[in-house]
Amino acid sequence: MKHFPLRPWILVHANDNDALVPELWAQESLAILEENMVVANLVHRDFESEVAEYGDVVNTRRPSTFVSKRKTDTDDVTNQNAQATNVQVPLDQHHHVSFIIRDGEQSKSFKDLVSFYLQPALLAEAQAVDQILLGQVGRFLANKAGKLGTDPSRTTLLELGKVMNENKVPLAGRNLVIGPAPHAALLDIASIVEADKRGDAGTAMREASLGRVLGFDSFMCQNAITGLPSLSDTVTGAINKSGGEAVGATDVDVDGLSAAITAGTMFTIAGDMRPRRVTGTTGAGTPTNIEFTPALDYAVADDAVVTLYDPGAINLSAGYAANWIKPMTVDAFTLAPQAGQLFTIGTGSDPAVYSAVLEQSITEISADRALAAAVLNDATVNLYPAGSYSFAFHRNAVALVTRPLIQPIAGTGALSSVQSYNGLSIRVVIQYDSEKQGHRVTVDFLMGVGLLDVNLGAALLS
């Protein structure tokens, strides 16, 4: 947790103990949110004090690149366009937490109410923001290192650095956010934690802190997509080719399968252990060949286990329109998708990759962002294979855009305050509920997430 010792924008005096002062709630909310977010402080932030509404579109900026030119003494300089490319980001994520403070509880001081109500409410909000930002790793899977189910090592970190070097990611400002499982594995590597090899006076060993490792500022975040379990609805077969399949293959011969495979289904092959998507099969109900994308990165042996992840399906007769942001009803799952589980919808040739965030169940799934396109009833929901998908990125890979929310109209019986600090804005609305006989407190904010540059991020698989 990041410390936040100085809050010059909070003015609290000895007699400021009224539990229903919205300015205090909003100010303290900002402090708690700022303290508990990890990833939001590492990505590109776009904030202006201009009040916005849900659905507004913000034009944030992607910096342009320049090319060095040569000239002689008699040549004029060559002018290049010094402009930023607009990237449209819709403000389509309105997050809130609401709760009731009963009449009998108002004798508690504001400090006690912060502990009882405000802190857990804002922890949930901070967790949601981190989950959403970390879920963007699915948009960078073309750039990857490591293998699912294999602990990260010094070698895989070097491979990750190579991927980013080839994409010309600036050396300064590279971040790597990992979850508890890969964090523990990396701390078990002598060259990463031993003081005489790191030159950090033993900080890594004492504090279990990775810090800067092989060119990455490394952070452990409990919301990272890590250690996702195997689901019960998996099917296994095996490679059926003497000598195995070579690097670059886009189809493999298989045996041991006794049911048709739906296009879009995700799978792995032992020895390669990177997520692949089925594009077609031969053999109908007894598949003998699987076509897939992307191509194999590693050779696989004969009899290597092929693990297929049975998809679920959209369960709404009307389907869902493009830009749908709320939960989607699904069926055919026997276990609920895990928070952070990557998934695609449908059988398209280049489907958008989403991440499951917030609450999931066997009948409902929520995505990290709005649907890029409409989806039909019974469209497959294709879950990515089990494992950890750590996110490596430069600040300019992803943008988090926030704007202040409008306050309720004066005289409507609601107390409210909007406070902004360090690129974040929180609104608190307090209103009396005569049926519940208490005050309803709603803490909310408006945000959007945008992809700025697909070359500035990568996934570390483990």
In a domain, residue 262? The reply is yes
Cis link prior to 294 (omega < 30° from 0)?
yes
Q: Where are the alpha helices (DSSP H) in 167-318?
A: 180-187, 190-193, 195-198, 203-207
Residue 370 lies in a domain: no
Q: Give the strand pairing for 44-47 and 398-403.
A: parallel
Instruction: In whole angstroms, give the CA distance from residue 271 to residue 241.
Output: 15
Q: Which residues pair with 457 in a beta bridge?
A: 393
CATH code at position 272:
2.40.30.290
Q: Are 54 and 445 in contact (CB under 8 A)?
A: no
In a domain, 106, yes or no: no
Distances (CA, A) of 225 to 105, 401, 420: 39, 22, 29
259: in domain:
yes
The number of beta carbons lying within 10 Å of the beta carbon of residue 360 is 20
Does 185 map to a domain? no
Rounded distance, CA 381 to CA 362, Å? Answer: 12
Phi, psi of 253 (to 5 degrees): -85, 140
**36 belongs to a structural domain:** no
The Cα 138–Cα 147 span in angstroms is 15
Q: What is the pTM of this model?
A: 0.86
Cα 386 to Cα 100, 134, 231, 235, 321, distances in angstroms: 39, 16, 8, 13, 29
The residue range of the domain holding 298 is 234-309
Residue indicated by tokens 């589980």: 341
Please report, in tens digits, the pLDDT of each residue of the chain (462 residues total): 444 444 444 333 333 445 678 888 898 888 888 888 889 989 998 887 888 888 888 887 666 666 677 777 787 777 776 656 678 899 999 999 999 988 877 767 777 777 788 889 888 899 999 999 999 999 999 999 999 999 999 899 999 999 999 999 999 999 999 988 888 888 887 666 554 444 444 443 333 357 788 889 988 888 888 767 777 689 999 999 999 999 999 999 999 999 999 999 999 999 999 999 999 999 999 999 999 999 999 999 999 999 999 999 999 999 999 999 999 999 999 888 888 899 999 998 889 999 999 888 999 999 999 999 999 999 999 999 999 999 999 999 999 999 999 999 888 889 899 998 888 899 999 999 989 888 899 999 999 999 999 999 999 999
Q: What is the dihedral of CA 210, 212, 213, 216, to 10 degrees?
A: 120
284 assigned to some structural domain = yes
pLDDT of residue 4: 43
Report phi then psi at 425, rounded to 5: -140, 135
In a domain, 338, yes or no: no
Query: Residues 6 or more apart from 428 whose CB is under 8 A from it?
Result: 22, 25, 26, 29, 416, 417, 441, 442, 443
Task: Count the domains in the chain.
Answer: 1
